[in-house]
Amino acid sequence: MQAGTDDLDRDAADLADGATPPTLSERVSHVFGALRWIAGSLVFYTVFFHLSVVRGSSMSPGIEDGDRILVEPWSYMLGEADRGDVIVLRYPLDPSVDYIKRVIGLPGDRVTLADGYVWVNGELLSEPYVDDVDRSSYLSTVIDEGHYFVLGDNRPRSSDSREFGLVPIEFVRGRVDLRLWPITRAGWVR
């Protein structure tokens, strides 16, 4: 039996009708039922997702230093990333280190950076997640098969494909969809 708000609502309604309050053992049973549900949820998330702590400000303002994020590794086993996905990847120059970046260029794309703007295949990329552009970056490259071009959202303070080059697809650990902490900023990552 799962303890939930229905049980608590029924208890409150019973008390309003003059019924006796739940016994201590009934209350303990409700608490343990809720704890079992929470523990089961945590096991599910640790098996199917990876909890990670962000270090650095390369993705601010959307993702900040110290944020706790869930990394979902399964979708890229079935398909490739989409432009705009926020991913965790192994740093190409030291694969023992993980980075968090946004996918900008897909295999076969031409990515051009100039005067703080990004063009993909000749079209200006809309980037509402970027607050501070880097007007000093100039680059034009075609993305090799089996690779991605990634950038941090905080362009002036990001080590990304401008520095370390293209990222092999097999270096992608997973997609970031959800921030868990801090609670005031918990929610979907865009």
In the chain, which ranges are E strands? 50-53, 68-72, 86-90, 98-105, 110-114, 117-120, 123-124, 139-142, 147-151, 167-168, 172-181, 187-188
Nearest CA to 131 out of 158, 155, 157, 163 is that of 155
pLDDT of residue 149: 94
Domains of the chain in sequence order? 5-48 (no CATH), 50-188 (2.10.109.10)
pLDDT at 52 over 70: no
- pTM here? 0.70
pLDDT at 38 over 70: no
Nearest CA to 190 out of 159, 158, 162, 153 is that of 153
Counting beta carbons within 10 angstroms of the beta carbon of residue 148, is it exposed (0 to 12), middle (13 to 18) or buried (19 or more)? buried
Q: What is the mean pLDDT of residues 115-141?
A: 88
Residues 30 and 167: their CA atoms lie apart, in Å, by: 49
Average pLDDT, the chain: 78
pLDDT at 83 over 50: yes
Task: Give catalytic status of residue 58 as yes or no.
Answer: yes
Strongest mean pLDDT among 41-50, 107-116, 177-186: 107-116
Among 25, 29, 57, 58, which one carries the catalytic annotation? Answer: 58
Task: Give catalytic status of residue 52 as yes or no.
Answer: no
Among 101, 137, 158, 161, which one carries the catalytic annotation? Answer: 101
Q: Say which amino acid occupies 3.
A: A
Percent of the chain with pLDDT over 70: 75
Residues 104 and 101: their CA atoms lie apart, in Å, by: 9
pLDDT in tens, 13-36: 555 566 677 777 777 666 666 666
pLDDT in tens, 159-170: 889 988 899 988
pLDDT in tens, 140-150: 999 999 999 99
